[in-house]
Amino acid sequence: MKDLKFLKNIPEILKIAAINLVLLLVFIELGSLGWYYVKHKQIFYTRQKPQDNSALGINLEGVRLNQSIVERFHPYFGFIQKPSSDFRPGFKVNNYGFISPHDYPFKKTKPNQFIIGVFGGSVASGYAIFEVQNQVLAKYLKQLPGLQDKEFVILSFATGGYKQPQQLLILNYFLALGQEFDMVVNIDGFNEVALANLNNQNKIDLAMPSVQHILPLTNLANNSLSLQAMKTTIAIQENKAKINRGLEDLQNCKLAACNAVTSVYLQKLVNNYRKDVLWFEKERGKTTETDGGSAVFINTNPAVLKDDIAFDRMAWNWAKSSIFMNKVLSSSNVPYFHVIQPNQYYPTKRVFSEAEKKIAFNPETPYDKSVKLGYPALFEKLPNLKKNNVNVLNGVNIFDKTKDIVYVDSCCHYNKAGEAIFSDYIGQSILEKLRKESPKRKK
């Protein structure tokens, strides 16, 4: 009899379960709608359709969706990015491996064009992209007499991993090819100490290109990647394929709950990708016993230099390279500005929020010690730069007054809010220095 009563109640039980399931799904959807609004400041159902992956709300900084190894050996620059027309709307990796709308050397097509060359590493490359899109520096320079009607052309000669003397060598190379400049901005500091210190730890000459970039290419050329590095490469490729599929699914989500679940899943994939890349960086940088037979020659040191000696040499490499950049440009009356980039590992008065700490700091990073020891070593050389009339813009404190998140990773890179502050600082500082140097330009 009890079984019969239970059987009679099954429809009612199923009905209640169905109602509860519907209510659960409704609450999940409502919660996802609120989560989406907080994250994107718009309602999911009336949202603007994302034009590219950067608008999906997933932090893809450092994720190479198309290729795993984009660097190529270059006989003069050390390495470049593989030229490709498929980068992002309005940009390409040009004929010399730089992210730019133009191939090089760039020749003026109009008499009123004003060419600004940007040199440095990935932060400088990001700055150049932001400037092409937003023309912040141009807005400041147009306040000077004679520049109001100029068409400002930003040319990037910066690539992730570059450090002095690469900027100096690249500048001289393109000057030899006839590249014109009306102004040059060199943004550096971090790579010169962080990446040069990795060189030192691997007994590679400090002035050689970054061991993170050049040694993997050398190992690849010599077919000497470790088994663990190859396994990690496979894991990175598989994870990248999942990320690409997830991004496509995210683009096609019809419900806010789908967007929320897929976003969380995607961010986990991206985090796993970054962990694999960090592991790969450790593995691929290991030298092998067959290095003596390498087809690529790299200057080495017999032993790891002590910190005080190493960082002093790094600082001298950095200072002398900038001095020579200024000398060669000054001979043609081209203004040169040297910007020291801010970095989260150099302590200032800035107070980081808990949310930004999770993004900007990594307890396992090799950069913390390098920056804390290296930046003071750079600052000791500032009198030498000033003595040689180098216009130095020390930007290490520019984020101190903002409470917004400005970093996108635990290395050195900035989000749009950080790029805006950085570009505004450079533009305003250059304007002030040009006005001081040429009183006739004052209004």
DSSP collapsed to 3 states, 208-255? CCCHHHHHHHHHHHCCCCCHHHHHHHHHHHHHHHHHHHHHHHHHCCCC
Mean pLDDT value across residues 325-346: 97
Beta bridge partners of residue 100, listed in sequence order: 92
Mean pLDDT value across residues 69-92: 83
Residue 73 has pLDDT above 80, yes or no: yes
- Chain centroid to Cα 124, Å, comes to 8
> 91-93 and 99-100 as β-strands: parallel, antiparallel, unpaired?
antiparallel
The pLDDT-based confidence of 289 (bands split at 50, 70, 90) is: very low
> 336-340 and 183-188 as β-strands: parallel, antiparallel, unpaired?
parallel
The pLDDT-based confidence of 7 (bands split at 50, 70, 90) is: low
As a whole number, the mean pLDDT across the chain is: 84
Do 218 and 225 meet the contact criterion of CB atoms below 8 Å apart? no
> What pLDDT does 440 receive?
44
> What pLDDT does 181 receive?
98
Residue 270 has pLDDT above 80, yes or no: no
C-alpha triplet 395, 336, 79: angle, nearest 5°: 85
Looking at the chain, how many residues does it have? 443
CB burial readout 337-347, b (16+ within 10 A) else e: bbbbbbbbbbe
pLDDT digits (tens, 9 = 90+) for 295-335: 677 888 999 999 999 999 999 999 999 999 999 999 999 99
List the strands of the sheet with 113-120, edge to edge.
151-158, 113-120, 183-188, 336-340, 391-394
Inter-residue long-range contacts of 284-290, CB under 8 Å, 24+ positions, other chains counted: 284/215, 284/216, 284/219, 284/225, 284/226, 284/229, 285/198, 285/202, 285/211, 285/212, 285/215, 285/216, 286/226, 286/229, 287/202, 287/215, 288/219, 288/224, 288/226, 290/222, 290/224
Residue among 130, 171, 136 at smallest CA distance from 152 = 136
- Residue 119's φ and ψ, nearest 5 degrees, are -120, 155
Do 186 and 337 meet the contact criterion of CB atoms below 8 Å apart? yes
Residue among 361, 377, 365 at smallest CA distance from 306 = 377
> What pLDDT does 443 receive?
41
Any idea which of 65-79, 173-187, 415-429 has the lowest mean pLDDT? Answer: 65-79
Distance from C-alpha of 219 to C-alpha of 103, rounded to nearest angstrom: 30
The pLDDT-based confidence of 286 (bands split at 50, 70, 90) is: low
Do 384 and 319 meet the contact criterion of CB atoms below 8 Å apart? yes
Do 438 and 391 meet the contact criterion of CB atoms below 8 Å apart? no
- Indicate the angle between helix axes 190-201 and 211-221, nearest 10 degrees: 50
Neighbours of 432 (CB within 10 A): 12
Residue 206 has pLDDT above 90, yes or no: yes
Distance from C-alpha of 379 to C-alpha of 318, rounded to nearest angstrom: 11
- State how far the alpha carbon of 48 is from the alpha carbons of 22, 44, 45, 51, in Å: 28, 9, 9, 9
Residue 67 has pLDDT above 60, yes or no: no
Do 211 and 204 meet the contact criterion of CB atoms below 8 Å apart? yes
